[in-house]
Amino acid sequence: MNRIVLGAMGVALLAAAAAAQTNYAAVQIKPTALGHRTWMLEGNGGNITVIAGDDAVIMVDTQFAPLHDKIKAAVAELTGKPIRYVVDTHLHGDHTGGNQAFWMDGATIVGQDLLKKSMAEGTTNALSGAKTPPSPASALPTITYADRMSLSVKGRKVELVHMPHAHTRGDTAVWVPDADVLATGDIVSTGGRYPNIDVGDAGGIEGMIKGVDAYLKRADAKTKIVPGHGALMDREGLKTYRQLLVDARDSVKALKAKGMSEDQAVAAKPLAAPMTAGSVQARAGATDRASDNFVRLIYRSVA
């Protein structure tokens, strides 16, 4: 089967699954200019970063398949250039859902080796046990890398860096040096909920903190930080987010050290109290369920 037929089959399947839950027709794509022909796009799903060169565009993440037309139109309006490369920060569907549709437009998908392996094999959710089936070949990266690589369009160059054992096992950070922009993927995720973390092959809470430390080391006061979810951040915001992770880790670790089981630790609601302005929960703006899940993820990933 050719590219168009294969791609259309996959897109239709993904669209049907996704459309059951969200009213994508109502979603608006909101661009934020980051200077130097670089933008952050918000819609539904992970934040997108658009880097425009003289001849073509590098786009980081794709949100959900049903949003393809809107995202494509937004990029065309901002840049007037075709999307040559799509970079996946990690495999989760709210970041890679549009892969096939952009591939059908002619984009080349780029990702870390282990992202491709996970997508090709399918994955299992650590909390729910829910299985994500293997992705069709047309949604997989055709350019992969191990540690780092650079990607260019005319007049622009970005650097992809593997962030090992963090949010997933195949996370990519995208640095855009000329615009002083960092796209973090879900190693940094705010937006009114606790971050989720793949346990097992990913790095658990310690891996997330290590990833943030690597970002803090390289970012400066002017760096514009595009998180996986949530509003545009600066280095100060990233430090606050790091503290949130550390506080949550320490609270759960202390309960585990006391000999509590995972369920007991969840029942103790370590992230719910004290409900002050500076508390972890207030800063995350998280729901009870999200904080319960976060406790479980941390519990499983601390020694």
Residues near Zn ion (CB under 5 A) are 92, 186
Q: How many Å separate Cα 61 from the centre of its chain? A: 8
3-state secondary structure of 139: helix
Distance of alpha carbon 201 from alpha carbon 211, whole angstroms: 15
Q: How many Å separate Cα 294 from the centre of its chain? A: 17
Q: Are the C-beta atoms of 48 and 149 separated by less than 8 Å?
A: no
User: Can you read off the two tokens belonging to residue 195?
Assistant: 């971050």
User: Can you read off the two tokens belonging to residue 207?
Assistant: 């891996």
The burial class, CB within 10 Å (0-12 / 13-18 / 19+), for 68 is buried
If you compute the radius of gyration of the chain from its CA atoms, what whole number of angstroms results?
A: 19
Distance of alpha carbon 57 from alpha carbon 290, whole angstroms: 36
